[in-house]
Structures are given as structure tokens and as C-alpha cells.
Amino acid sequence: MNRKAQLFTLFCFAILWFNPFRIAAQTAATTSGVDHSYKPVIIKLDSAGKKFLRLITWHHFWISHTSNNPGTLDVNNQTVSSTTDIALRRSRILIQAQVSPRFLIVSHFGINNQTFINGGAAGVLGSGSSASGQGGKKPQIFIHDAWTEYAVKPGKLHLGAGLHYWNGVSRLSSQSTLNFMTMDAPIFNWHNIEATDQFARQYGVYAKGQIGKLDYRVFINKPFAFGTARNAISSTTQAVNVLNENFANGGYLAWQFKDKESNVLPFFVGSHLGAKKVFNIGAGWYSHKGATATKILNQIDSIQDHDQLNLGVDVYYDAPLNKAKGTALSIYSVFYMNDFGPNYLRNIGILNTHPNAQSIAVNAETSWAGGGNLQPTLGTGTIWYTQLGYLLPRWNNGTGLMPYVCYTYKNFERIGKSSSQFDFGLNYLISNHNAKVTIQYSTRPVYKTVNNVIERNGSKGQFTLQTHIFI
């Protein structure tokens, strides 16, 4: 770890330990007391409160220090070994309107991933053009969710339609961003992210409900057009997304052995922080016919289509250990089997400010995945992901710490060799998930190409400090 990374780590821990929220809470707790709890923002539409409109808003800010992939270029096209940035990971507003006991309307909009260089106006610095000073400014607010739902048999069968988040494959594929146990999702849980979906959403119709201990959701979607025209494909060995009009289908089923979780909204809770005792085992799928294609070698105008199939099996345990002390345990593990077609692979880097890379000298090793924090994230192959968190005894003022660790195993067909990576984090819960500060260190594999063969070239890391507040 270089000195910049060490200083950044100390800075993050200092903020986490000595932040003004914690000091104010402790001081008030010993004098007049501080109540961080609040009532949800709800407007009643009838006297009984069965018809209502609820407003939720939240922000995630990141301060990150990234050890860049080899050959990464900065804004002046100079190589840079590390980058420190302040960015807006999410800024959202969600409106839930229960307009009658059987009709529900959900509207969800906001922005994501705005850095100093990208996430804003198109066609300028953040999009690879010459610097105009607008690449990171004025991001466009867009719709995340826009769907309506009718309760055919309340609790057991609900039908809905629109731009929705009732995803299949795994629990993590419909993860709420309000109550992560970790700092963020691993991204590969959203198997179509920003390809044939709109930020993990697609247009479609769905059915959901709970029958006994079975929680289910199934859907038929029309994926967004994304990729290359079939007659323009040049790849012969690596499947690429192609334009098509085929529907997709999917679903997720979970057996709830202990407490039942709410499924009014599609968002699965990351950790209940001891409020519930949950033990679920689930499985799901997503299928899209002709999603990718390759060109058959030496055959003119001969295209081979490939169907996309994503399968997931997971287990989730989240329960209190000692209610008097406020301790709790959270465990989640999921296994994915992904088939996007032969050798399909996507390199993704969250809040990546420097995606470009080049060889910096004769015989220098540049990153195969690209610059910044790009890494192989989604592709044909298997992924095993596990996270474990432990909520330590609460302080007298109700705040507390929750350390966690995550392990990821990836085995992509195109790379041909498996990899392992870790995340180590610590949540400081000021008011449970409503107000918290999280610090996380994440590793990622780095690759190079030698004689057109992809080879492992060590690992890089990233420190991130996040502030998370929602009402």
C-alpha cells in the first residue's frame, strides 16, 4: 500500500470515528438525549390511512481512492497510478401511491454515477471528446421505476405492468439500495445492467405474491434494443449483443423458513439489523432468446444466434443474536451460472473516471480490461458471491458498528482461469440504515495480454468512504 493510500485510509477512519454526527449523538445522549427516529413522509388520502402517498428520498456520496490499472490516463492523457475523487453514486426520489386498497402506483426517478468528469452532459469530456468542462455537469434525471399494480387476491396474487424492478435470478438482483449490508452491490447481480435494461429495469408485466411460506415473482419483459445489427457483426469467437425484438421471461422463488418479509415493493432488504429473524432459500432465472450472436468463420453472411440464460441459487440468513445488546448476524451467499453466448464478457468499473489506458513505455504492461478500476464483471461462466456481517453491541445512544467481509469467485469462459477477490468494510450506523457512514476496501483482479492470451497480472484495490442518508 503506497503512502497516499495509507493517508486516505487514516482520513476515512478519522471521519468515521470522530464524525460530528457521532459526537453530537454521544453528547446529547448523556445530556438531553437525541432521537434520530422519524415517521415516514406519508400523506393520507382517506381518514383510515389505507389510501396514502409515501415519499422516499436518498443520497449516496462517495470519497474514493483508487489504485488504477496499469497504463491509466488522466484528463491530460498522462499516466496516473492512483486517483482520488468525490462523486454522487445515487440521488433518488421514490413515490409510492396506494390510491385504493387494490391499486398501487410507483414512480421512481433520479440520477446515478456523477463524477467530476462524467455522468453529465453527453458528447463532451465524460464521453471521450475533448475537454469542454461539461462532462460531469448537469446529469439528466431519468425514470427508474414507473409501474402500476392491481391486487387480484391481496397478498397472494398481484398483477402489474410498466418499467419495473421485479427481477428474477436472485435476491440480490432486486436488492434495495436503501439498506445494503455492504456499501454497494457487486454489480454482477444485475445481469443486464445498462445493456438491455434501464438501470436494472425493463418494460414488462409481472405477477407476485406470497402463498404460505413461498414468496414468488415472475415476469415477461420486452428488453430494450441494445447492441449491433446482425448483418454488421464482425466477431467470430466472442458473442456480442445484437438488436432483436424477442421477449424475455424470468422469475425468482424463495421459501421463507422464519419471519416473512414484505413484498409490497420489489426491493429486498440487505440487512434487517436484528429487527427480524429471516432464513430464506431461493432460486431464479432470466431467459432472452437471440440476445447475442457470433459470425461463423469464413462463411459470408452466416450468423449464429445465442440465447441468454442466467440462473441463480441463494441463501439468506439475517437474525438477532442478543436483543439486549443489539447484536445481529447477516449472511448471504449466491451462485450464478451465466450463459450469454461463447466468450461473452463485459468489463465494468463503478464511478470510473479514467477508463482509457495505453502502454506507457516499451514492453510496458497495460491493462487488458482498460483504465481506472475496470474489471471483468459480467460474462459467460460462473460466479459465487458471499457476504458476512456482524452487528456489534450498540452504544448507549443507539448507534453501532457493523463490520463485514465479502468474497467473490469468478470463472469466465473467455479468460479461462478463475479469480478471487474480497471486500472489507465497516458500517457506522447513526440511525440504522437511515443515516450511516461506511468505509470499504475492495480488491479486484488485473489482467494483461501476452501473445493474445489473457493472463493474470496481480491485483489492485480501492478505498471508499460513503455517506448514506434517506427518509
Cβ–Cβ < 8 Å for 268, 174: yes
pLDDT tens for 330-385 read 999 999 999 999 999 999 999 999 998 876 554 457 889 999 999 999 999 999 99
Which range marks the domain in which residue 407 is found? 3-470
Task: State the cell numbers at 314.
Answer: 441463494
Q: Crossing angle for the helix pair 20-30 and 3-18, nearest 10 degrees?
A: 30
pLDDT tens for 239-276 read 999 999 999 999 999 999 999 999 999 999 999 999 99
Q: Quickly count: other Cβ atoms within 10 Å of residue 277's Cβ.
A: 14
User: Which pLDDT score, from 0 to 100, does residue 231 have?
Assistant: 85
Number of domains in the chain: 1
DSSP string, 281-334: EEEEEEEEEEEEEEEPTT-TT-EEEEEEEEEEEEEEEEEEEETTTTEEEEEEEE
pLDDT tens for 104-132 read 999 999 999 999 998 876 544 443 333 44
Mean pLDDT of 30-51: 75
Percent of the chain with pLDDT over 90: 76
Q: How confident is the model at residue 7 (pLDDT cuts 50, 70, 90)?
A: low
For 39, phi then psi, to 5°, come to: -95, 135
Mean pLDDT across the chain: 89
Whole-angstrom CA distances from 344 to 3, 339, 347, 381 are: 38, 8, 10, 9
User: Which pLDDT score, from 0 to 100, does residue 115 have?
Assistant: 94
pLDDT tens for 305-316 read 999 999 999 999
**Under 8 Å CB-to-CB from 378, ≥6 apart: which residues?**
187, 188, 191, 193, 338, 340, 345, 346, 348
Look up the CATH number of the domain holding residue 427. 2.40.160.10
